[in-house]
Amino acid sequence: MIFAAGLGTRLKPITDSVPKALAPLNGKPLLWHAIKSMERANIERIVVNVHHFSDLVINYLKLQEWNTEVLISDESDCLLETGGGLLKAQSLFIPNKPVLVKNVDIVTSTNIESFIHSHQKEKNHATLMVKKRSTSRYLLFDNQNNLCGWKNIKTNELIRTNELEEFKSLAFSGMHIIEPELLAQMGEVRPFSIIKAYLELANKCQIKAYVTPADDIWLDVGTVEKLREAEYYFKSGKIL
């Protein structure tokens, strides 16, 4: 699933006339890059959620020829955030198959197939792609890479799921894999954060980190500055 429903307020003035998903990067929309990264990983079906300028995203998807099946989860009437968006799209997923989730504004050189393989090997209920980098909000993990909390270093807000004294602080990379049985424990469709749901379920489900290599490129291109930085990596061939 590709989360493409966001308002893209950080990308103004680009998003005054187009949705974030269609913001151009190296001559192609962000959504094109996200879909192609999933096609290269042999994803069987892709679901894209839409809200902001939803008609433009839907028209774009329908006019392209993709190498895999692409379906639309329409949130035009109500933006459901990451958790609610996943639950609304459940009927579009391939039954009994895990779901790889990617934010449309994430650009990375990390090998997605390796990420999928790790999830399958560990037999996790969910696997969160993380990286050791500076940010204002961190996910907390124990020495076995199990999710055990979250913290905001700007506000000092802290959520802990256990009383362990030692933990690792790692930054979420905007990609995760979730099993259908975990989705089934998240209740009714409503706006909520998937990260908050993971924290609430961390003590009874196996939710672990996949730590990407230090030299992997990772960018949140939700701002004009980061979009321009990503252009360099694409033109230099460091990201496909």
Please write down the HEC assignment for all residues of 176-212. EEECHHHHCCCCCCCCCCHHHHHHHHCCCCCEEEEEC
- pLDDT tens digits, 39-64: 999 999 999 999 999 999 999 999 99
Q: Which of 106, 93, 126, 142 is nearest to 200 (CA)?
A: 126
Per-residue pLDDT averaged across 185-191, rounded?
A: 96
Task: List C-alpha distances in Å: 39 to 17, 34, 43, 46, 90.
Answer: 28, 9, 6, 9, 20
Q: Does residue 128 carry a pLDDT above 90?
A: yes
Structure confidence at residue 114 as a pLDDT band (50, 70, 90):
very high
Architecture (CATH level 2) of domain 2-235: Alpha-Beta Complex (3.90)
Q: Does residue 94 carry a pLDDT above 80?
A: yes
| Whole-structure pTM value | 0.95
Q: Does residue 155 carry a pLDDT above 90?
A: yes
Query: Where do the structural domains in the chain lie, given as residue ranges?
Result: 2-235
Instruction: Tell me the percentage of the chain whose pLDDT exceeds 70.
Output: 100
Identify the pLDDT of residue 164: 77
